[in-house]
Amino acid sequence: MEKIGVGLLGLGTVGTGVYKLLGKRAEVMEHTIGAQLEIRKILVHNINKKREGVDPSLLTADWREIIEDEEIQIVVEVMGGMEPARTMILEALKAGKNVVSANKDLIAEDGRILLDTAQENGKDFLFEAAVAGGIPIIRPLKQCLAGNEISDVMGIVNGTTNYILTRMSEDGMEFEDALKKAQELGYAEADPTADVEGLDAARKVAIMASIAFHSRVVFSDVHTEGITKVTARDIAYAKEFDRVIKLLGVARNTEDGIEVGVYPMMIAKDHPLASVRDSFNAVFLHGDAVDDAMFYGRGAGEMPTASAVVGDVIDAARDIRSGCTARISCTCYRELPIKPWGEVRNKFFIRMQVVNQPGVLASIARVFGEHKVSIERVVQEHADPERAELVIVTEQVKEKYMERALGELQSISSIHEISSVIRE
Amino acid sequence: MEKIGVGLLGLGTVGTGVYKLLGKRAEVMEHTIGAQLEIRKILVHNINKKREGVDPSLLTADWREIIEDEEIQIVVEVMGGMEPARTMILEALKAGKNVVSANKDLIAEDGRILLDTAQENGKDFLFEAAVAGGIPIIRPLKQCLAGNEISDVMGIVNGTTNYILTRMSEDGMEFEDALKKAQELGYAEADPTADVEGLDAARKVAIMASIAFHSRVVFSDVHTEGITKVTARDIAYAKEFDRVIKLLGVARNTEDGIEVGVYPMMIAKDHPLASVRDSFNAVFLHGDAVDDAMFYGRGAGEMPTASAVVGDVIDAARDIRSGCTARISCTCYRELPIKPWGEVRNKFFIRMQVVNQPGVLASIARVFGEHKVSIERVVQEHADPERAELVIVTEQVKEKYMERALGELQSISSIHEISSVIRE
């Protein structure tokens, strides 16, 4: 039977998963692709480190061996990071390899050059695993939903923060305790910045928006806020309002540009994303033909991510067998502007501690009014003789007006503290 | 620019949606597929009937005109039903056309011959729209998740019955009233049999199981029960037990064969399928690598179904452009047995009206015990002097034992009625 050689760049968590899964499925590949997939070389830092279950003769510390191996037709990049992954992928494509990558950092930044290089060389560059782990989303967008104009993509695309928010919501934990628990369980890293500050989610939403709207969106286009300021108290209010707080990546294709951000948001508890718990991910979208749709599953982890990578490897192998690599290349055929964040309209939940005396609400309402912020509702709770907690939910307003209003509120002496600002 | 001719077989709801959507997307096809899609002929019963927005010169009453048009490379079958759709599709494939179909009745019965004929002729036969309307599920299974052994597929794949059950659950309606409301809103047909008896869902689950397990499952393999016997009272009990009643298509690939059925089921209210409301559909699955995943969206309707059909048309066009039609053909490379329904193990919720006197429960428990049915819990409620309502939830038991136990219970005079038997 025909053999299709595969080279792995990296043998960390995902690489090991890919290695295992290709081994497990070796016998059915005859039926799935009409050929055998043969892992010929694996790039690692240290070829002498013992790796259980991995044939040591496959290991190499020289990536050029993979690029130069003429039997290798598919290169799987599972190292992560910008360099040297970027150079290796570009060199692999130029050497006529098809490339499968799970590298969201790189694709969110340099997707265009990677896809262009693949196209110029008539090869596949596939990256289903780069967004939402095992959940099929790239291929559904590029193929199944190709007849749609997609107007909205909203995703819970970071499992760590969703786990933390679930613990805060279901167990009443504060952020720091929930983070500690996530770290104990291995859901969060020792340095959790990329997750809790929303950077990981921002990379994924940049990639999804590019594909959904056919126009390149890069990491730096994404307005990003994390969940470190969300408190158990905000979550209690959300419950009172029949809402749930989720860290969402939100992208909208509007007439005057693409809006794209990552931020904690209060969503209605009967929204399909509201019931996505623990470390699960989900991507919700709206298309003009399909209406609402959602894709739910494991957004990370060794085997779920390997599932997406191996799906791409199988697709590349089918393209090789059918002589049609580069069958679907870059689908970004538009150049839409990114809307400046200040122009984006959102609703806000604002919680503040104020002096408990008459006239305070009037002065706050005056500031909002002057900055074009309409108030939808006001709740004053848990007043003690000196302090009151005031919650204001606004109508939709441009971010820049809200920012100015909040700036001015800071200078009002009867406001002790603006505790939370969360979008609705 | 290159033109790819399209012929439509049928111009009902879905056909009209496809016609509209292809028109709406005409301008972007250059970017999407590098060619123009041109509808050249449309088969209708009556070419003289006025159809708003449709160019009458395209209409024909003779399907052979479509088969014989050499410019037509993609035939879209949206007539439904077994014949003449079957003959037309087979003839189209033999004439070298690629075929896109939304015809679940036909594919659930004759999928094999359709796919085999496509393969023999080196053409695409695509049918994303046949299961769960606009929701991408066939392509995710065949491509994105191709590295998995899928063990379970569970779906809410009939919007009519999900709408009815939602009204019963959220508004306390009885089945007949909810059905009437569904008919008023156009969600249910005048003759609702295919929907409420689970036949429509059975066809879809047969198709999904075939693809998920790589082994042909046909409509007649599916054990099918509808929702006509579900009452508001059962739904009230479900709520008490933190459960929701849904009509599910369930397929499991077990060591001793494929289990496949459609039936109302009580599922935990935090299961992802539990929050699928109204006429929405969703397919939940479990794979050995991807773990749990779910796909949610519109399972029917003019434009959502057209979304799936047009996605397939675009895929076929890309295959034509890349010279790789039949790139992915039939993936049923196994011949797994279908497990006889009596051998399938399930948990049951049984509600019965009994004489309110000592010893009744003992005699019921004895019958269950003799038939290997273990009882997990018993609830006796709303007793009046003469009658009591008894609810029994069993452990997992083979269907054949449950059937025998229920048969014997029928003959016990202290049981007035077995009101409901619902799987858990």
Question: Residues for chain B: how many in total?
Answer: 424
SS (H, E, C) A318-352: HHHHHCCCCCCCCCCCECCCECCHHHCEECEEEEE
Whether A324 sits inside 8 A of B319 (CB atoms) is yes
Kindly state the average pLDDT of the residues B231-236.
96
Mean pLDDT over residues B46-51, rounded? Answer: 92
**Residue B80 at interface with chain A, using a CB cutoff of 8 Å:** no
Instruction: Write b or e for each residue in A200-230: b if 16 or more Cβ atoms lie within 10 A of its Cβ, otherwise e.
Output: bbbbbbbbbbbbbbbbbbbbebbbbbbbbeb
**Cβ distance of A295 and B292 shorter than 8 Å:** no
**Closest residue, chain A, to B321 (C-alpha):** A327
Which residue from B266, B419, B405, B263 is spatially nearest to B352, judged by alpha carbons?
Answer: B419
Q: Is B299 on the interface with A (CB under 8 A)?
A: no
Confidence of residue B384 (pLDDT cuts 50, 70, 90): confident
Q: Is B270 on the interface with A (CB under 8 A)?
A: yes
Helix (H) / strand (E) containing B423: strand B415-423
**Tens digit of each residue's pLDDT (9 = 90 or more) over B265-300:** 999 999 999 999 999 999 999 999 999 999 999 999
A283: chain B residues, CB-CB within 8 Å: none
Give the integer Cα–Cα distance in Å for B231 and B76. 41
CA nearest to A317 within chain B: B327
Q: Do B311 and A32 touch (CB under 8 A)?
A: no
Minimal C-alpha gap between A304 and chain B (Å): 4
- Looking at residue A381, what is its pLDDT? 80
Catalytic residue among B204, B246, B339, B398: B204
Q: Under an 8 A CB cutoff, do A327 and B314 touch? A: no
In angstroms, the Cα distances linking B188 to A33, B15, B246, B281 are: 42, 19, 17, 15
Residue contact B134–A308, C-beta within 8 A: no
CB pairs below 8 Å between A and B: how many? 193
Strands B72-77 and B98-101: parallel
H or E element at residue B413: none
Q: What is d(CA B396, CA B346) in angstroms, rounded to the nearest whole number?
A: 5
Residues 6+ apart with CB under 8 A from B361: B378, B380, B390
Q: Mutation test of the interface with chain B: which of A307, A309, A310, choosing the one with the most B Cβ atoms within 10 A?
A: A307
User: How do beta strands A375-381 and A387-394 pair?
Assistant: antiparallel
Q: Measured between alpha carbons, how far is B394 from B169 in angstroms, rounded to an integer?
A: 23
- The per-residue pLDDT for range A95-119, each reduced to its tens digit, is 999 999 999 999 999 999 999 999 9
Among A91, A128, A12, A206, which Cα is nearest to B139's?
A128
User: Using CB atoms, which residue from A289, A297, A298 is nearest to B303?
Assistant: A289
Are the Cβ atoms of A272 and B17 closer than 8 angstroms? no
pTM: 0.96
- Report how far Cα A80 is from the mean position of its chain's Cα atoms: 15
Burial class from Cβ neighbours inside 10 Å (0-12, 13-18, 19+) for residue A35 reads: middle
Using an 8 Å Cβ cutoff, are A54 and A15 in contact? no
The Cα-based distances of A111 to A203, A275, B256 in angstroms read 11, 32, 46
Per-residue pLDDT reduced to its tens digit, B115-165? 999 999 999 999 999 999 999 999 999 999 999 999 999 999 999 999 999
C-alpha A362: how far from chain center: 41
Contact with chain A for residue B47, Cβ under 8 A: no
Lookup: tokens for A319 = 């393209």
Angle value at C-alpha B197, between B194 and B201, nearest 5 degrees: 65
CB contact under 8 A, B275 and A277: no
Q: What pLDDT is recorded for position B383?
A: 67
Q: Which residues contact residue B399 at a Cβ distance below 8 angstroms, ignoring those fewer than 6 apart?
A: B341, B342, B343, B344, B345, B346
Q: How many helices (H) and strands (E) does chain A have?
A: 14, 18
From chain A residues 146-165, the ones with a CB under 8 A of any chain B CB are: 146-148
8 Å CB contact of B303 and A288: yes
Report the DSSP pairing between strands A36-43 and A59-60: parallel
Is A122 an 8 Å CB contact of chain B?
no
Could you report the predicted ipTM of this complex, rounded to two decimals?
A: 0.96
Restricting to A residues 377-416, those with a Cβ less than 8 Å away from any Cβ of B are: none
Which pLDDT score, from 0 to 100, does residue B385 have? 82
pLDDT grade, residue B214 (50/70/90)? very high
CB contact under 8 A, A31 and B331: yes
Closest chain B residue to A136, measured at CA: B144
10 Å Cβ neighbour count for A287? 25
**What sign does the dihedral A232-A238-A242-A243 (CA atoms) show?**
negative
DSSP single-letter state for residue B30: H
* Residue ranges in chain A modelled with pLDDT below 70: 382-383
CB atoms near residue A386 (< 10 Å): 9
Exactly one of A41, A97, A204, A398 is catalytic; which is it?
A204
Q: How confident is the model at residue B381 (pLDDT cuts 50, 70, 90)?
A: confident
The predicted model gives B313-334 an average pLDDT of 96
* Apex A126 CA angle, A120 and A129, nearest 5: 155
DSSP structure class, residue B26: G
Q: pLDDT digit string (tens) for B187-203?
A: 999 999 999 999 999 99
Taking CA atoms, what residue in A is nearest to B302? Answer: A289
Residue B179 Cα distances to A200, B175, B185, angstroms: 46, 6, 10
Question: Which residue in chain B is spatially nearest to A129 when comparing CA positions?
Answer: B144
**From A274, A289, A318, residue closest to B304, measured CB to CB:** A289
User: Does B21 contact A143 at a Cβ distance shorter than 8 Å?
Assistant: no
Q: Does B170 touch chain A (CB under 8 A)?
A: no
Residues in chain A: 424
Using the beta-carbon criterion (under 8 Å), do A314 and B146 form an inter-chain contact? yes
Best mutation target among A74, A138, A144 (most B Cβ atoms within 10 Å) is A144
**Of B32, B275, B297, Cβ closest to residue A293:** B297
Site from B19, B27, B144 to mutate, A interface, most A CB atoms within 10 angstroms: B144
CB atoms within 10 A of CB B92: 28
Q: Give the chain A residue nearest B317 (alpha carbons).
A: A327
- Please indicate if any CB of chain B lies within 8 Å of the CB of A136: yes
Cα–Cα separations (whole angstroms), residue A113 to A43, A125, A344: 23, 11, 29
User: Can you point out the beta strands (E) in B313-362?
Assistant: 345-346, 348-355
Six token digits for residue A157: 């695309």
Does B315 contact A at CB distance below 8 Å? yes
Task: Tell me if chain A has a CB within 8 Å of the CB of B268.
Answer: no
Which residues, in sequence order, are CB contacts of A60 under 8 Å at separation 6+? A41, A42, A43, A44, A47, A66
A204 is catalytic: yes
